[in-house]
Amino acid sequence: MAQPGYVESPCTGVCTLDLTSDTCFGCGRTLGEIERWVFFTGEERERILAQLPARLATLHPPKG
Q: What is the pLDDT of residue 64?
A: 64
Higher pLDDT, 61 or 37: 37
Higher-pLDDT residue of 5, 30: 30
Residue 63 has pLDDT above 90, yes or no: no
Contact 29, 22 (CB under 8 A): no
* DSSP assigned state of 37: G
The residues that bridge with 17 in the sheet, in sequence order, are: 24
pLDDT at 1 exceeding the cut of 90: no
Q: How far apart are CA 15 and CA 6, in angstroms?
A: 22
The model's pLDDT over 44-59, given as tens digits with 9 standing for 90+, comes to 999 999 999 999 999 9
Query: Is the CA virtual torsion 39, 43, 44, 47 positive or negative?
Result: positive
